[in-house]
Structure 1
């Protein structure tokens, strides 16, 4: 539900930033059905371009919103080089915005094991895109998608960032803090590298709510409950032959850290002192 609500909030932010339309905040909707009906109010200029990153559960949730809108999906090359008579989006996987520094190649296993030899190639997408929806998973040591210097480039075009991933002061340079359900949007001033007014012309409107499923509590609770019933309860009540419960348990029945979580020992010791 983070992807669903986050993508919706991104379009709501775009409407506010450019004075195009008004969407009801998701948390004021009765449920997801009412929220989705709000999408009918969206009117985007022709050739509006939206770039998304991340193909996990969050990314697929965002795609559920995109599928309800008259926005055509195009390949990355076409997105970068062509003009369109309708709004379009492109959805990038990790190999499409990272490359090996040595030779420009990409190896997924190597990247996930040690990304230090890689660099981001994402910034050029922001020279043609109007909105960025960030759904990726980012790990410490991986390249930043774009930096504060990237945003200062005169070719920069993105005016709205819906940072569903919400890594603070990290891979998405405009995300300086999480926003809240009550106050979901702030402006990022690329010249001062600080939070500023949303509506200033050169500022990026940032949506970085970090508890997005809470905006649709009924739907999210039902969905999470169904997932627990389907994927967790059989292992909890049965033999757990795959070790699902054992691998996910932070502590043993004696209250000690389980094997997979012993890396937290120093933190636990410090917290208890």
Structure 2
């Protein structure tokens, strides 16, 4: 029997306005016999009336729903016994801050499906907001560059840009950045920014979104090796250089006689150290778009930044830490920032951050929920990817043993909890509980 589907009001962040299933998708799923209850929300990018017009029932809670879709983590007091929850749980790395939430779900016999683990046979994620994180992150980083230079008294073409959340649409942001590109082509960049080099770590969906924005500017791509040989005196002022950094550019084996091997790197990251520092003095901006966990070398450490700034003001002005791993690959990203207060300046001498654009040091943009700065487009894109799986999840009988569950294979592999117990692929999380 098909269950009633609930759509959460997002309450982890004030500016979280995304939704997993939009009115457009509800209208289509209603034709397949599905029923929806939508928790009322004054801040969601889609209005309550849009959901109601699509055929959903509005409610102040989701007590009548058996399968509940959300985006971010859910407060522990909202979980109900034996229900199925689908959201980004952030537990697969054993994140300590979410272990209490997982314990509550286990005690209540809940089922948990995590979007992050819905993957195909090649382990590529099928449902994600990553592209929109890259889009918003690149917009914000260019805006940050403009504001940072303006505070230093440097007139620059980026100063007219706005934070992504302040554009009415992605298209409006694209138009504004394209206009900046025309100015750069015609007039060039200020000498303080020449040559302007933007480094991008990673090459997945997040990086793809960032490149969509960078490609609106007059730019050419060069290799990391070409970057090292770039002569600032010969570089034109009306071109931005883009450099993509892959794993082999970021790390090298501890054994100087060994060559970099990608499979070995993934299986034995402890056998590698960072090789990224040689490029940092050549960069104006770094967009960090790569996956990272604590097994891998950091690419920028606090110790290195102290050494860099001891030599004087570096070329590197802005880090857009789109991946946003606090104390992670960019060690000075001490926390994910909020949309309302998105940037800080990290002082390499005191090793302390100060919020805003002023102060000595390196400006870091590290908004934790970047896709929510483009909430309508991000929700529609996410809903398109999720749509093929919604009915199967709603129809599944979760009272059956795990081996007998009828679910699409990518979804079944993403089932972290079944009847309150960790499924075989995720039993390792017991080590963190």
1:3 corresponds to: 134
Q: Secondary structure of the equivalent of 1:124?
A: coil
1:198 corresponds to: 357
Aligned pairs (5 A) from 1:15-30 = 15-19=146-150, 20=156, 21-30=159-168
2:173 corresponds to: 35
2:301 corresponds to: 147
1:170 corresponds to: 328
Give how far 1:101 is off: 1.0
Aligned pairs (5 A) from 1:46-85 = 46-83=194-231, 84-85=235-236
Aligned pairs (5 A) from 1:111-260 = 111-152=265-306, 153=308, 154=311, 156-196=314-354, 198-200=357-359, 202-230=360-388, 232-233=389-390, 236=393, 243-252=409-418, 254-260=419-425
Structure 1 residues 258 and 158, CA, compared in 2 at 3 Å: closer, same or farther?
Answer: same
Q: Which has the larger radius of gyration?
A: 2
1:97 corresponds to: 250
Structure 1 residues 235 and 93, CA, compared in 2 at 3 Å: closer, same or farther?
Answer: farther
Structure 1 unpaired stretches of 5+: none
CA contact (8 A) 2:140 2:162 kept: no
Structure 1 residues 264 and 101, CA, compared in 2 at 3 Å: closer, same or farther?
Answer: closer
Give how far 1:51 is off: 0.9
Structure 1 residues 124 and 266, CA, compared in 2 at 3 Å: closer, same or farther?
Answer: closer
Give how far 1:235 is off: 6.2
Structure 1 residues 240 and 226, CA, compared in 2 at 3 Å: closer, same or farther?
Answer: farther
Structure 1 residues 234 and 24, CA, compared in 2 at 3 Å: closer, same or farther?
Answer: same
CA distance, structure 2, for counterparts of residue 2 and residue 38 of structure 1 = 18
Structure 1 residues 65 and 120, CA, compared in 2 at 3 Å: closer, same or farther?
Answer: same
CA distance, structure 1, for counterparts of residue 210 and residue 229 of structure 2 = 24
TM-score (norm 2): 0.57
- CA-to-aligned-CA distance 1:170-220 (integer Å, 9 cap, x gap): 2212211211101111100011111136333x4101100010000111000
Give how far 1:76 is off: 1.3
CA distance, structure 2, for counterparts of residue 6 and residue 23 of structure 1 = 13
- CA-to-aligned-CA distance 1:226-253 (integer Å, 9 cap, x gap): 11125x358657997862121111222x
CA distance, structure 1, for counterparts of residue 195 and residue 168 of structure 2 = 33
TM-score (norm 1): 0.89
CA distance, structure 1, for counterparts of residue 263 and residue 406 of structure 2 = 29
CA distance, structure 2, for counterparts of residue 47 and residue 132 of structure 1 = 14
Structure 1 residues 241 and 182, CA, compared in 2 at 3 Å: closer, same or farther?
Answer: closer
CA contact (8 A) 1:235 1:244 kept: no
Give how far 1:127 is off: 0.7
Give how far 1:54 is off: 0.7
Structure 1 residues 130 and 218, CA, compared in 2 at 3 Å: closer, same or farther?
Answer: same
CA distance, structure 2, for counterparts of residue 41 and residue 34 of structure 1 = 13
Structure 2 unpaired stretches of 5+: 1-131, 151-155, 397-404
CA distance, structure 2, for counterparts of residue 159 and residue 190 of structure 1 = 13
CA distance, structure 2, for counterparts of residue 49 and residue 240 of structure 1 = 50
CA distance, structure 2, for counterparts of residue 214 and residue 227 of structure 1 = 17
CA distance, structure 1, for counterparts of residue 212 and residue 161 of structure 2 = 17
